[in-house]
Amino acid sequence: MGLVWQYLRQNKLANRVFRDDRQIVEACCGAWNLFANDPGLVTSIPSRDWAQVNL
């Protein structure tokens, strides 16, 4: 989850000023929904060469 949060902070939530807590929650939800609805992005972010799953 750390890599996803890092991506969202750097690409969707950085360099913004929020008026209140509600605006922060709305921005986070919007960023998450954009991320979750992009299957290519979802599969690319957590993949690392050193993380192998052997079935």
Confidence of residue 48 (pLDDT cuts 50, 70, 90): low
Q: Above 70 in pLDDT, residue 10?
A: yes
In the numeric block, which tokens belong to residue 48? 């690392």
Residue 53 pLDDT > 80:
no
Q: Are 53 and 47 in contact (CB under 8 A)?
A: no
pLDDT digit string, tens, across residues 13-28: 999 999 999 999 999 9
Question: 3-state DSSP call for residue 1?
Answer: coil
pLDDT for the residue 51: 58
Cα→Cα distances 21→7, 17, 39, Å: 21, 11, 29
- Band the pLDDT of 33: cuts 50, 70, 90: very high
